[in-house]
Structure 1
């Protein structure tokens, strides 16, 4: 039979039997058991609540509901009892500062360990903001959060390959020491690595650098690099099939996506995907139009790209991996003059852009809510006297914007960003990439622990490099 009647409390649901078999381990085992219940027209599931089962069905049907506290508890019950991976993933995707403690505690009660760990990591990243609330947690839950490593802000600037015997001491990946409000060196870039017009992203707590050019001829660097902070080493892997530079690299669900870019003076719409499990690149659906250096972000584990038509409109597309297609989500009609970037917080996409051509340093912002489908103009101008803010990364309810003169932390509040902490800027010229990494707890400072501002370095940064960093093929 196509449909199966399922009774939960006093409610009866008519559900596609194949849908339940594919997505719920409980029903799959039941239908394959040969027990009498699996032949009944109506199956009575006890111990769950109807509203939680309704949320489960909505997720299985492709919806992405934003849940209140009671719905979260009942959904966790269903995810744990019925073993619904899709529901667990949805709950992980909607963790935020309002529900993280509830998610964490409830997941611990029902043994939903993937959600438990994800919520604990989120709490660890916001520990200082949540320190009064976390005291309400049982001791063992608090101890687990405190055992985890928080995300750290990391930045790398624009660099070309260096001479092997005389490596530029500024060719470094740096992290933000928030206690000292300054940037410090995490690791050197490999000698042959280029970040000039490269693709840079983080996936599974590893830093990936793809492509980049070697000199003014825009010769594409052949080797790509991966940095693992847990091992403090670099490895190499093969580059995309299509040579490209000035493209966007995004890490999503164990894959890297090289989006658009340029090659031989031609802007491209092609997109390639690198599968970490097979170590292979393959082409996926092209973008709707050619684009270079597109702004991309992820919200609730969904991947979005911002296609900018100068002085006219900004189209935001979502890539749906399961269907291998690009879907137009929204269009913003707004005059702008220079550049743009996009970050996400909860179910909001924030688009920052330069203002009218007579004031290209003025940074204006709008945000698009994925749930309501509405655009909202942000009040004020997001700028400072030391430069426009076009490099940003979100952690919890904070967003850090970086330029060579100043690093500024904002608190994201409803319809505005509120300045919180000003720190030293990242003292590099040219483009920069900012991201998050969980750096291991170390008994000694990272390599090159000297302060960046003023270019103070420890001794080993000021001597000739006798050998390049250890490189090996990525697994």
Structure 2
């Protein structure tokens, strides 16, 4: 939500809105009254100032010369829990603000709104002001869209271009449903594959460990590591209690503990630094419980349950917010958001359609796309609706998509592209103005059963003599040791 300067200033200057222990901050003739504890909690600059013992830490009013009004207004919005979509001027001043005041929550918000329209500005400005995390995240986004942005990228300073080119791009990945293997010999079908976009075909990256199940399992990627949790052994639906983690940099599998509640047919979602296991089933009963896994200490803990039991819910993360799509029946589909700070599930909106069984949900910019069964009895047809988080409005997306050719039961967004997959064809769509336009078609996955898809950054690979297994290089974040650009203010 974009606020004019006068509205924000009046809201913070009003005596009835003025918080206790407030500090008046003056910037270029504009004055803001802000809670001291909020500033100290979120801004390293003010935390250091208030603890310095200097005369300024006791003053009720200070002058800030290093930031602009627009950037400070965005900071206040973010500290107030808002997630504003920013124009170019706001982006530049916000980066300047987070650089000087050291505000991690503002940097995180800037990362969450990187898109194809602002990524170059984000990257250049963040490098100029030395905001490394934002600079790196912008560079990764640009690397994934390098082919579409090549001409504009080469207008950047050479050091910035070299850094982008040193990064590893995201690869579209897939693994089919497989139960644990009891055979001594390796099953050639139990593999994790990646799409070779240059040759438009699928190649094998690694084989699944024999005791791993991807049938009704949770599959997700966190910190470029693949996690496979749960799954069932066979039709008895006995749950695999051990989780598995694949590190592509080292080409190794390791085991982790599974959730406290045994579950299958659940959704595994990555949000910030956690894996969330949502709902699912156990002993033929739907679950509402939710657990999250903290990688740093390898532990699962319970969080607020879903409002009602649900299995295999569609999910997406947009603007650093986690959403799920829950079909309620009778034409209603709820979109829920999990608020970690409150540990609550909040109803964001409800989609009401005659045929509204949500098959899949993906996020692009500040939009959620919900794919569902079509407006007739032909369940091979999918139609889409788009929900704008900014405007709070639903829009019907034109076009229908037949599952038998380009399945929308699974879809992944990378930059402005959406990849969908079926046995017959892998399809890439370009998202443009709320429309999905066909960009290209490649070889299908060619395997039966449910398919899990995801994105990973793979080290440089070379085909082995067999042609379907790969030898991975050493553990590197970048292909070459290029230093992250970090310029002095105003150097570019």
The bucket for the TM-score relative to the shorter chain is: over 0.9
Tell me if the contact between 2:382 and 2:403 (Cα under 8 Å) persists in the aligned partners.
Answer: no
Distance in 1 separating the partners of 2:405 and 2:125: 46
Residue pair 1:185, 1:446 contacting (<8 A) in 2 also: no
Distance in 1 (alpha carbons) for counterparts of 2:288 and 2:23: 45
Tell me the distance in 2 between the aligned counterparts of 1:11 and 1:338. Answer: 51
How many residues align? The count is 452
User: What residue number does 1:417 align with?
Assistant: 436
Q: Which residue of 2 aligns with 1:196?
A: 215
Tell whether the 8 Å contact from 1:307 to 1:314 is kept in structure 2 after alignment: yes
Deviations 1:115-148 (A, max 9, x none): 0100000000000000010011000000000000
Q: Determine helix, strand or coil for the equivalent of 2:193.
A: strand
- Of 335, 356, 359, the match for 2:354: 335
Distance 1:432 1:156 in 2: 6
Would the aligned equivalents of 2:362 and 2:369 in 1 still touch at CA under 8 Å? yes
Question: Partner of 1:251 in structure 2?
Answer: 270
* Post-superposition offset of 1:447: 9.3
In structure 2, the CA distance between the partners of 1:360 and 1:272, relative to structure 1 (3 Å rule), is same
Task: Please give the root-mean-square deviation of Cα atoms over the aligned residues, in Å.
Answer: 1.6
Paired residues of 2:114 and 2:122 also in contact (CA < 8 A): yes
SS in 1 for 2:165: helix
Match among 92, 95, 107 for residue 126 of structure 2: 107
TM-score norm. by structure 2 comes to 0.90
Q: Do 1:157 and 1:429's aligned partners in 2 also have CA atoms closer than 8 Å?
A: yes
Does the CA-based 8 Å contact 1:151-1:436 persist in structure 2?
A: yes
Residue 165 (str. 1) matches residue 169 (str. 2): no
Q: Which position in structure 2 is the counterpart of 1:300?
A: 319
- For the residue of structure 1 that corresponds to 2:263, the secondary structure is coil
The offset of 1:357, in angstroms, is 5.0
Residue 224 of structure 1: SS of its match in structure 2?
strand
Q: Single out whichever of 41-50 and 101-110 deviates more from structure 2.
A: 41-50
1:48-59 matched pairs, under 5 angstroms: 48-59=67-78
Does 1:6 find its partner at 2:25?
A: yes
1:445 correspondence with 2:475: no
> For residues 142-181 of structure 1, what are the structure 2 equivalents within 5 Å?
142-181=161-200
List aligned pairs for 1:10-89, cutoff 5 A: 10-89=29-108
Closer, same or farther in 2 for the Cα pair 1:448/1:209, shift >3 Å? Answer: farther
User: Contact conserved, 1:171 with 1:189, CA < 8 A, in 2?
Assistant: yes
Q: Deviation per CA, 1:54-102, whole angstroms, max 9, x where unpaired?
A: 1111111111010000100000000000001100000000000000000
Alpha-carbon shift at residue 301 of structure 1 (Å): 1.2
Structure 1 residue runs of 4 or more that deviate by more than 3 Å after TM superposition: 446-449
Contact 1:224/1:236, CA 8 A, preserved across alignment: yes
Aligned counterpart, 1:286: 305
- Cα distance in 2, alignment partners of residues 305 and 213 from structure 1: 23
8 Å CA contact 1:302–1:318 kept in 2: the answer is yes
- Among 318, 332, 355, the alignment partner of 2:374 is 355
Q: 1:128 to 1:446 in 2, by over 3 A?
A: farther
- Report Cα offsets for 1:242-261 as digits up to 9, x if no partner: 11100000111221111000
1:129 aligns with 2:164: no
The answer to whether the Cα contact below 8 Å between 1:185 and 1:447 also exists between their aligned partners in 2 is no
Task: Indicate the SS of the match to 2:264.
Answer: coil
Q: Secondary structure of 1:208's partner? A: strand
- Alignment match, 1:275: 294
Residues 194 and 447 of structure 1: is their aligned pair in 2 closer, same or farther, counting only changes over 3 Å? Answer: farther
| 1:184/1:448 contact within 8 Å kept | no
Between the aligned partners of 2:357 and 2:393, the Cα distance in structure 1 is 24
Deviation per CA, 1:384-417, whole angstroms, max 9, x where unpaired?
Answer: 6635421100000000000111100000011210
Query: Distance between the aligned counterparts of 2:344 and 2:404, measured in 1?
Result: 42
Distance apart, 1:427 and its partner CA: 1.1
Select 2:454's aligned residue among 426, 431, 435.
Answer: 435
Could you list the runs of 5+ residues in structure 2 that have no partner in the other structure?
1-19, 472-492
* TM-score normalised by structure 1 residue count: 0.93
Alpha-carbon displacement from aligned partner over 1:24-71 (angstroms, at most 9, x marks no partner): 111111111111122222100112211111111111111101000010
- Structure 1's unaligned 5+ residue stretches are 451-456, 461-475
Deviation at 1:337, TM superposition (A): 6.8
Give the secondary structure class of the aligned counterpart of 2:384: strand
Aligned to 1:472: none
Q: Whole-Å Cα distance in 2 between the matches of residues 448 and 291 of structure 1?
A: 43
